[in-house]
Chain A
Amino acid sequence: MENLDYARLQMAFTLGFHIIFACIGMVMPFFMVVSHHKWLKTRNPIYLKLTKAWLKGVAIFFATGAVSGTALSFELGMLWPEFMKHAGPIFGMPFSLEGAAFFVEAIALGFYLYGWKKLPEKFHWFTGIIVGVAGVASGILVVSANGWMNAPSGFDYVNGEFLNIDPVEALLNPAWFTQALHMTLAAFVATGFAVAGVHALQIFRGKNVELHTKAFKIAIVFGAVAAFLQPLSGDLSAKDVAERQPVKLAAMEAHYETQKGAPLYIGGIVDEENREVSHKIEIPGALSFLAFGDFDAEVKGLNDFPDDELPPVPIVHYAFQLMVGLGTLLMLAGLIYFISLKKKNWLKNRKFWLLFIIAAPLGFIALEAGWVVTEVGRQPWIIHQVMRTEDAVTPMPGMKYSFFFYLFLYTILGITVTWLMNRQMKALNKEE
């Protein structure tokens, strides 16, 4: 493999790592303030205990997200210096706003973490809300910057030069809204199911059931509601991609031949050499409908694009299938939870809890797969149709070592955080 491949691997790995911590750091505060609110309203000490337990988790995740985010803001430049040299001045606005939002989040978190019994109760609770809102705002802004890479706007590209820069237009690029909506919902689905699953495991083991049931209920409601909204947002995204990045859409579906009334492939094995897909389930006309809202619309196939502008089709196709498949499963799991509100005896069934234990990692797997679709699907471009990834990479050789260094560092960090969470849980259960 070349320098470029290792640089891409490193970017993918570090982003993939950061995304998990960033999502938990931006969604968990909402669970925390709900529990905190219930404590203030009911004065049931279990809610206080739960709030404080989650708070410790948030502190650990937030710090890990903050340091890996700092590393990423350097990495953008260190791995892709040519990209940042030209893109920085154009899509800097979301990042400068994000800096401010992140700052607000850190200030509010300072108040929230250290403010117990020191600040007026309601103000203290409110700082928790600010943590969550500022976190979501940060997330939206960063995704908007990514949207610009998919839908470059706010400049004129003339003879290799970037002229007439308009930062506001770049911020409000055509992709920002659909991407930000999809990602925000995904963060709630993934974190909601992950947190619910962790507490379901404790209930399954019969430990501190009362507290964990309360925790489960708060987390799952966020996750399940978001899981139901996600297909709508996914539809908006699909239509947007169909219009702006037809090659990405074709890769997602491994759709080689341009045709009217294009079928939707579910699953299937991509044969890149012969340009066909085997072992798939075919739904006639469905791709045309999903992409353009018309069963007879023409969908451009991969064969109609130049070879050197195609992304790696199998990766994009499999990642897309994985994302949609897991998303659907989570929606079903959400449905089961809503039914259980009527059929209370389900809560006593161990299989019910087992289901949510299994569902715990699925949201994050789907979320990572979704990012693979967006990022790998944009290749070979770093700025869609403007700059190629290979032209943006650092001239410094030896990215191999850099990749393994980050792999080692973040693996250790990931293991440590998991181990710490396990200890938090044990300590929480012991107190009972």
Chain B
Amino acid sequence: MLYVVLFFLLFSLLLYVLLGGADFGAGIVELFSSRENRKVTRDTIYRVMGPVWEANHIWLIILLVILWVGFPGYFNVMMIYLHIPLVLVLLGITIRGVAFVFRHYDAVLDSSQIWYNRLFRVGSLVTPVFLGMSFASLISGKIIITNDYSNYGFYDLFMEPWLHLFGLLIGLFYAALCAFLAANYLIAETEGDARKLYRKKSIMYTVVLVVLGFALIVYGYFADFIFIEDFIHNPVSLISVGISGLLLIPLWRSIKRGSRIWSRYLAGLQGVLIMFAAIIAHFPYIIITSEEELSLLENLAPEATIDNLALMLLIGGFVILPGLFHLMKSFNLIKVLDKSKP
């Protein structure tokens, strides 16, 4: 049953990172667009993300519940030492979430739209950056786990673990991945000029992503981060990243050919491979503190809890996944039907 729980942990993490990420990315693409292109993006996002954006973000809650029920020791460390970056993530989630709804459901169209748009775009950028920084602090080797809080300064315990260049690079890398996913997703949803625009965006964000990824590894290696060292020496991670890199070729070809489906799936697959490489590099020791490496598998809840959680996840999965699939499919299908009727 533990494997069921681990599967759902990984599954919801990947789905949040990819689907929630594409959602953040759409806001980033909008942020870095020219004035007239922003309007196109805004409308496209509403059309394609509107029905699913809330569902996308629930993966985060599922992930959180799995962590706190199944891996209480891990959750405890995260909640104490990542308090500040997580508050910043929450601020971002709150602001962009409500701004998205406000801008589409406000009964009056006036200058307040400018504010909703600004908040949505900026929130879309900072949230993945802080999420990346939170992840980075787990593997940074800078967390000091202690019971003797008076011996350390506030900065050492609660700021130092996440506030560093390595963390910022990971944050920016994740934001770039989000934008890359969104650009490729949007290609398949648009026509004509808008399509050309997202093609350009897709290539631009691919370049940014590769450059940031490279910078991340080089900096991490020379700054002696254990995680990067192990990443480079882990064959599975290297192969995953390698395949992800090689997939760029068919991706570019499919974008050029105008194949809607392939470019989306290829980009998604690349995202999965990158995340998989990052998680597997140091699995199951996902928390690296200043003194030790904490194994996910050694900080488990009692067996009765794990069994119960696995059962709940299976039941929930059977209810949710078909519904979610149907939701996504319906609205794709509907769009196709709409187009056939001019």
Contacts and interface: CB of A to CB of B under 8 A. Distances in A.
Contact of B108 (A78, A90, A119, A427): A427
Contacts, number: 195
Interface in B291-326: 301-302, 304-305, 308-309, 312-313, 315-316, 319-320, 323-324
Nearest to A110: B51
Q: Looking at B75, B76, B94, which has the most chain A CB atoms within 10 Å of its CB?
A: B94
A229 B330 CA distance: 41
Nearest to A62: B54
A108 B54 CA distance: 11
Nearest to B308: A167
B267 to A, nearest CB: 23
Tell me if B's interface is mostly helix, strand, loop or mixed. helix
B64 interface: yes
Contact of B323 (A81, A88, A107, A413): A107
A88 B71 CA distance: 9
Interface string A85-118: 1101110110111011011101111110111001
Interface stretch (B82-90, B174-182, B255-263): B82-90
B177 to A, nearest CB: 21
A74 B101 CA distance: 22
Given A70-B57, A70-B61, A89-B305, A77 B51 contact: no
A423 B75 CA distance: 42
B55 A103 contact: yes
Contacts of A103: 55, 58, 62, 316, 320, 324
Interface in B63-115: 64-66, 68-70, 72-73, 75-76, 78-80, 83, 86-87, 90-91, 93-94, 97-98, 100-102, 105-108
Interface residues of B, number: 61
Contacts of A109: 54
A165 B305 contact: yes
A398 to B, nearest CB: 7
A56 interface: yes
B316 A111 contact: no
Contacts of B102: 60, 416, 420
A218 interface: no
A99 B65 contact: yes
A71 B79 contact: no
- The majority secondary structure among interface residues of chain A is helix
B308 A168 contact: yes
A423 to B, nearest CB: 5
Interface string B39-61: 00000000000111011011011
A303 interface: no
A92 B315 contact: no
A338 B68 CA distance: 48
B50 A93 contact: no
B312 A100 contact: yes
Given A74-B86, A106-B55, A110-B52, A99 B308 contact: no
A137 to B, nearest CB: 11
A85 B90 contact: no
Interface in B112-156: 149, 154
B308 A59 contact: no
Given A81-B79, A86-B72, A96-B69, A167 B101 contact: no
Interface stretch (A246-254, A367-375, A389-397): A389-397
A413 to B, nearest CB: 6
Interface residues of A, number: 67
Nearest to A69: B61
A341 interface: no
A67 B50 contact: no
Nearest to B116: A416
Contacts of A396: 80, 83, 157-158
Nearest to B312: A96
A56 B76 CA distance: 39
Contacts of A67: 93-94, 97-98
A118 B334 contact: yes
Given A66-B58, A77-B68, A107-B320, 13 more contacts: A63-B97, A89-B69, A96-B66, A99-B58, A99-B61, A106-B55, A110-B55, A111-B51, A113-B51, A118-B334, A167-B308, A394-B83, A396-B80
Q: What are the 6 closest A-B residue pairs judged by CB atoms, nearest first?
A: A92-B69, A100-B316, A77-B79, A89-B301, A427-B107, A63-B101
26 contacts: A59-B105, A63-B98, A64-B101, A66-B58, A71-B90, A71-B93, A73-B64, A74-B64, A81-B76, A84-B68, A89-B302, A92-B308, A92-B309, A95-B65, A96-B69, A96-B316, A103-B58, A104-B319, A106-B54, A107-B320, A113-B50, A115-B330, A119-B330, A395-B149, A420-B106, A427-B107
